[in-house]
Chain A
């Protein structure tokens, strides 16, 4: 596809369950970002991947959150033992390279933890 895609578009889960969110970046983009956005709030940076470099995990809120990027393309964000405060829209973005890049965002995954 031409843009960043994410799946699922919506996810409802019970507290304590694990969830996996997927991001397919734009082909050829070496940089990939995960953010989350709570209702009415700005973006909260979670993690960043650039090529084969070690990811920047400085934004992950707890050790329940992890992400991987396989083959330099698709990325999966995993939240273990979900809590109600994890409810948010999880956004993925990609860019050609780090630096003066334009980040292209996917439509997001709306996560609701009951």
Chain B
């Protein structure tokens, strides 16, 4: 599975959009981009995933560049409860059985 690079930390004002970037320049054609988050003292939580097209669900939007070498997770109206570590994962459909979480981005939503 391709390696991802994320900034270690970000701040966002409550109510504003949080844009979390992820670089995955070595991504291959059959690899998907997944986002999970982990709120303090809780298990990881799935957010969204995509292959080529932009995706949106009730939690977030995922914007994938045309060359697929980077993506951005957007939380449209960040709340204090969105404070968490956000993980960007790239993996194949038939990849390893496990998920590999890197160090992620620690997002702090500020009141």
Which A residues contact B (CB, under 8 angstroms)? 4, 33, 35, 42-43, 45, 48, 50, 56, 59, 91, 93, 98-100, 102-108
Of A42, A102, A107, the contact of B103 (CB 8 Å cutoff): A42
Also in contact, A107 and B42, with CB within 8 A (given A99-B94, A100-B32, A100-B93): yes
Of A33, A100, A104, A107, the contact of B97 (CB 8 Å cutoff): A33
Q: For B46, what are the chain A residues with a Cβ–Cβ distance below 8 Å?
A: 102-104
Please report the number of residue pairs spanning A and B whose Cβ atoms sit closer than 8 angstroms.
51
| Cα distance A48–B43 in the bound complex, in angstroms | 17
- Say yes or no: B100 contacts A43, CB within 8 Å: yes
- Say yes or no: B44 contacts A43, CB within 8 Å: yes
Of A50, A56, A59, A105, the contact of B43 (CB 8 Å cutoff): A105
| Cα distance A4–B44 in the bound complex, in angstroms | 12
- What 15 new A-B contacts, CB under 8 Å, besides A45-B97, A107-B43, A108-B43? A33-B98, A33-B99, A35-B98, A35-B99, A42-B102, A42-B103, A43-B101, A48-B97, A59-B98, A93-B44, A100-B93, A102-B34, A103-B44, A105-B45, A108-B42
Q: List 20 A-B contacts (CB under 8 A).
A: A4-B43, A33-B97, A33-B98, A33-B99, A35-B99, A43-B44, A43-B98, A43-B99, A45-B97, A45-B99, A48-B97, A48-B98, A50-B97, A59-B98, A98-B97, A99-B94, A102-B34, A102-B46, A103-B44, A108-B42
Q: For B104, what are the chain A residues with a Cβ–Cβ distance below 8 Å?
A: 42
| Cα distance A33–B97 in the bound complex, in angstroms | 8
| B5 shortest CB reach to chain A, Å | 14
Q: For A56, what are the chain B residues with a Cβ–Cβ distance below 8 Å?
A: 97
Closest to B32 in A: A100
| B56 shortest CB reach to chain A, Å | 16
| B57 shortest CB reach to chain A, Å | 11
- Say yes or no: B45 contacts A45, CB within 8 Å: no
Closest to A91 in B: B43
| Cα distance A96–B67 in the bound complex, in angstroms | 30
